[in-house]
Amino acid sequence: MSISKDGAVENARNDLAKRLNIDAADIKEQSVEDSDFPDMSLGAAEDGEMSGQMITRGWRIRLEAQGKTYEYRADKNQVRAYKFKGKNYRI
């Protein structure tokens, strides 16, 4: 099923809330930008993952919580946490 921009932001917010163990309402949406990512894992491959080396259009989502900024990357197929505590996660 295709993911919308709003849907991607909501998924990202819920994921971050879970990871930080906080309420989703306490997470602020800093920015959501259209972006070209270097590959089909949106430049956020998980361990052991290979991805198509095609420039992929998606959204760069920046969320703010507990005084820190967290980046998520998304397109119509997926939402990924980018370097959350040094690691990438597909959610």
Q: Is the CB of 22 or the CB of 55 nearer to another protein? A: 55
Residue 56 near another protein by CB under 8 A: yes
Phi, psi for 28 (deg, rounded to 5)? -100, 135
Residue 78 near another protein by CB under 8 A: yes
Q: Contact, 45 vs 57, CB < 8 A?
A: no
Among 23, 52, 67, 86, indicate the residue that binds another protein (CB under 8 A).
52
Q: Is the CB of 41 or the CB of 59 nearer to another protein? A: 41
Cα-based torsion angle of the residue sequence 53, 54, 58, 62 in order, rounded to the nearest 10 degrees? 30
Q: Contact, 7 vs 1, CB < 8 A?
A: no
Tallying the residues shown for the chain, one arrives at 91
Q: Is the CB of 21 or the CB of 53 nearer to another protein? A: 53
Residue 34 near another protein by CB under 8 A: no
Q: Which residues form the interface with another protein (CB under 8 A)?
A: 38-41, 43, 45, 47-56, 77-78, 90
